[in-house]
A and B are shown apart, each in its own frame.
Chain A
Amino acid sequence: MAESTERVTAPESLEVTDLDLVRLAQAGDTEAFGELVERNRRAVFRAALAAVGSPAEADDVAQEAFVTAWRKLSGFRGDSQFRTWLLSITWRKAIDRRKSLTRWLKLAASSARDEAGEDLFDVVEQVPSPARPQDLAYEAAELQQDVRRLIGTLPRKLRDALLLAGTGEHTYDDIAEMLATPVGTVKWRVAEARRVLKRKLSAMGYRDE
């Protein structure tokens, strides 16, 4: 919040476009590049997080993506937006990380156990706790846990599109650029992912209201 307040109170910094900062950074101005990092850090981090699933890994991937962008900045000619170019670098780095470590599958398989100790339904049915809430909030939390687990079981193409769209930082155009896929395909994948999730939730006994 403090950073956003600073930006609001310093209108002159808002007048400087990303392209201006890129030109300065291309001339060797690291402060200008630092401002580019500050402006895009959230989008970069969340894109990486959507791919690797772990905040620590996403932080590392984001750093790598920024350093790579700095090294390749001389090759950026401004044909596309800097943010789009940067997100493409980030996604490639994140996919490389995911492939090399196969972290996503491991995390997806163990996320329920890591956070709830065991599978949530098993805990609820086998070990009733006196502190167990019986209200709607608990049911919503339980449903959300199931949704998270089911998201981890989606096919990668559907899951990537759904998670990137769910970050709140990326437009469909950004996602299409990152995934090297037409925008229409991205929209279809997001909708299909949601359909699959709903179908699985219904199969689990949940009712959509």
Chain B
Amino acid sequence: MSNQMRRGTSFDRAIDAALRDMVEVDPRPGLGRRVLRRMDRRRTPVPRAAWLRAAIAGGAALALLTVALLTFRSAGVQPVDPPQVVTQPPAAPAIPHAEPRAADTRPVVAAPPGRRQPAPEAIFGERRDRVSAATVSAREPVAAGDEQAMPLGGFSTGGRPPETAIAPLAVPPEILIRPIELAPIPSTAPRGGSR
């Protein structure tokens, strides 16, 4: 190898010279003019680009709004909170003159705050407009006195208008039993045909 016998200059000077050769280069004349020309070229499409950006941003905002609305709507049905078990002292005695008992510490299931248990008459849903054999026609309202006389099995009508009051099942229908009358079966064959 002839290189091995060759005596070089200082490496540092060689490196510096190589670097000067590589990067100490001036730009072609007129760089400023070329830059200004390119700036002028790019000025024209700027409004269009801005309009396009605004349209894209508006569409994205609309899509986000739609998604947010759908999300909130689907989240409207919230799960019912589990009932809380609390310990309450006994309420005032229901029976007068009853002997006072020791403090009752049985757990009582209480409804969560802010939520009310459904009223008893609403257990089976709204009864208005129900069609049932037990219902009474609106043209034959039950009198208030009859309503009180015939208990509804623990349920009350809750002050409903008489048109929607439910008749008790205990009303015995009038059943009239008659003897069966057998009517002769009309014959379709011509008379005297088979005889």
Q: Give chain A's interface residues, CB within 8 Å of chain B.
A: 30, 33-34, 37-38, 41-42, 45-46, 49-50, 53, 55, 58-59, 62-64, 66-67, 70-71, 121, 124-125, 136, 139-140, 142-144, 147-148, 151, 162-164, 166-168, 194, 197-198, 201, 204-209
Contacts and interface: CB of A to CB of B under 8 A. Distances in A.
A140 B7 CA distance: 9
Given A45-B31, A151-B22, A205-B3, 5 more contacts: A34-B36, A37-B32, A63-B38, A207-B8, A209-B7
20 contacts: A38-B32, A45-B27, A49-B23, A50-B23, A55-B25, A55-B27, A59-B34, A63-B31, A63-B34, A66-B35, A140-B17, A143-B9, A166-B16, A166-B24, A168-B20, A194-B15, A205-B1, A206-B6, A206-B8, A207-B8
A175 B47 CA distance: 36
B25 to A, nearest CB: 6
Contacts of B21: 144, 148
B177 interface: no
B27 A209 contact: no
A-B pairs, 5 with minimum CB distance: A166-B19, A205-B4, A205-B3, A45-B27, A147-B18
Nearest to B24: A168
B25 A197 contact: no
A67 B37 CA distance: 10
A162 B10 CA distance: 18
B8 A37 contact: no
A148 B22 contact: yes
Question: By DSSP majority rule, is chain B's interface helix, strand, loop, or mixed?
Answer: helix
Interface range on chain B: under 10, 10 to 19, 20 to 34, or 35 or more? Answer: 35 or more
Given A45-B27, A67-B35, A163-B22, A144 B1 contact: no
B31 A209 contact: no
A167 B35 contact: no
B176 to A, nearest CB: 100
B53 to A, nearest CB: 13
Contacts of A67: 35, 38-39, 42
B51 to A, nearest CB: 17
Nearest to A198: B11
B2 interface: yes
Given A30-B36, A194-B15, A59 B22 contact: no
Given A37-B35, A59-B27, A67-B35, A147 B42 contact: no
Contact of B32 (A34, A166, A205): A34
A59 B31 contact: yes
B23 A42 contact: no
A27 B7 CA distance: 60
A144 B22 CA distance: 11
A168 to B, nearest CB: 6
A164 B22 CA distance: 11
Contact of B27 (A30, A42, A144, A198): A42
B26 interface: yes
Given A45-B26, A55-B25, A209-B9, A163 B3 contact: no
Which one of B1, B12, B18, B42 has the greatest number of beta carbons of chain A within 10 Å? B18
B14 A140 contact: yes
Contacts of A50: 23
B16 A124 contact: no
Contact of A167 (B9, B12, B23, B36): B23
